[in-house]
Amino acid sequence: MGQSMAMPDGTYYIFNKFSGKVMDVTGASKDNTANIQVSDPVETRSQQWQFMSLGDGYYKIINVNSGKAIDVAGVSTDNGANVQQWEYGGGENQEFAVRAGGDGYVSIHSKHTDKVLEIYGWQANSGASVKQWDFIAGSNQLWMLIPVPSTTGVSTNPSPMTAGSAVVADGIYLIGNKWSGKYLEVQDGSTERDATIEVGTGTFLADQQWKFTNLQNGYYKIENVNSGMALDVQEADQDDGAKILQWPYSGAVNSEWVLRQAADGYVTIHARHSDKVVDLHEWDLADGADVKQWTYSGGANQLWMLIPGPPAPVPVAAGPSLGGTLASGLYNIGNKYSGLALDVDGASMDKQKDVELNALDFGRKSQVWYIEAIGDGYFKILNVNSGLGLDISGASKEDGANLQQYPYKQGENQQFEIRQAADGYVSIHSRHADKAIELYNWDTSEGATVKQYEFTGGANQMWKLLPYYGTV
């Protein structure tokens, strides 16, 4: 669990890491007992929250629309207690600590229980309730606080940048559309040149992350983190409706962009060669909706919010081995990035069944693993349900090799070193290849694949070992 943060008083949107949705009040109600939920981001006042320090490391969190405080209903100390809004009265169930959760995220802890605000039941839909629960570092319990920009009045046209000035710092951003609340992404997560750009529900996967680099001439190149390719207007077409795709950056003017300021913190994104904008085509609200080039009209389908994303993973040295200190025993193994738990496909007892990730279920024996020291700083990791060992398929040393369960034969592809990382996490390295097991392709869905990959220190390669105290 991270340390409490001393953050500045101010007004914030509260984005959930798991669903990409924002904390909201049901129906924009102003009534006591109105439910706190999550919704698609539409930048309304009911999605804006004022954090006010109480001077003791805690904050009251007031909804801008209603003027009422986030409140744990009935001062309950139970897991699953509802979170609502109520007139602020100074109760400890209305006061919260904000603690660092890694990669810019935070957890929000009620003072009276030290339990956290979470999306209940890992629901990804709008209208999902926020409740109180014990902290387990799940992505449904992690939130990103995005400052609400001060409103300066709505302009008929966005004000152009001056050459060489930067609207945003170089870095990685999610690009959210004002009209739909969906995020710019590459179709099917493709890494191929010519792949189409579209919008989708927020997953925060690498194909929704964009690296902005100021070219020091008033323009930016905008590269997809997953593919490394640049946002590009096909064949430098100057017409309305021209396709926007990804393409290797070559310095061409159709792959350079100027950002212009609009109201309420939004920007428009203009192609250098045509001065036309990135446009959600035909105001389509669906996942997979096309993004095209179009003449600027001021519509909400042409306005985008740049939301700082996690830093790009870079190769780093792994931490010290826990071979001499980690106690053999039963554990659930949770992934830092997705919050999901290591599991076996279909809870199968068969050899060669894939290892995958699913929502943590303490009653599911296929999510319980016996980690046993075997000497020399290595461990075997056996699934309690099947009795089979964690195994790199075919003893492959390649990046992307699959993880499966297989009868333990003392092979080095079945032995693992567990190394310490920050904030109580570990990385798990195959002995034969010295590569880390990772959540493949940053996939946050149930059934996500687990593979072996070169260690980068990414959150998808970080695991929390949760001691299991149930019966087996």
How far apart CA 277 and CA 293 sit, in angstroms, is: 5
Please answer whether residues 342 and 361 qualify as being in contact, where contact means their C-beta atoms are separated by less than 8 angstroms: no
The helix/strand count (H/E) of the chain reads as: 0, 36
Length of the chain: 472
The reported pLDDT for the residue numbered 89 is 94
The values of phi and psi at residue 176, to 5°, are -100, 135
CA atoms within 13 A on the CB side of 83: 29
How far apart CA 341 and CA 456 sit, in angstroms, is: 20
3-state secondary structure 279-306: EEHHHCCCCCCEEEEECCCCCHHHCEEE
3-state secondary structure of 119: strand
The reported pLDDT for the residue numbered 3 is 57
CA-to-CA dists, residue 375 to 23, 324, 328, 390, 434, angstroms:
48, 9, 11, 17, 17
Angle at alpha carbon of residue 202, lines to 305 and 153, rounded to 5°: 20
How far apart CA 454 and CA 434 sit, in angstroms, is: 8
The reported pLDDT for the residue numbered 429 is 96
- CA–chain centroid gap for 429, Å, is 24
The reported pLDDT for the residue numbered 67 is 94
CA-to-CA dists, residue 371 to 201, 333, 466, angstroms:
37, 10, 11
Q: What is the pLDDT along the chain (472 residues), one digit of tens a residue?
A: 555 667 778 888 898 988 888 999 999 999 999 999 999 887 789 999 999 999 888 999 999 999 999 999 999 999 999 999 999 999 999 999 999 887 678 899 999 999 999 999 999 889 999 999 999 988 899 998 877 754 322 222 333 333 233 467 888 888 989 888 888 999 998 989 999 999 988 766 778 889 999 988 888 999 998 889 999 999 999 999 999 999 999 899 999 999 988 877 788 999 999 999 999 998 888 889 999 999 998 888 999 988 876 544 444 455 677 776 788 889 999 998 888 899 999 999 999 999 999 988 877 899 999 999 998 899 999 999 999 999 999 999 999 999 999 999 999 999 999 999 887 889 999 999 999 999 998 888 899 999 999 998 888 899 998 887 666 6
CA atoms within 13 A on the CB side of 202: 27
Which of the 8 DSSP states describes residue 33? T
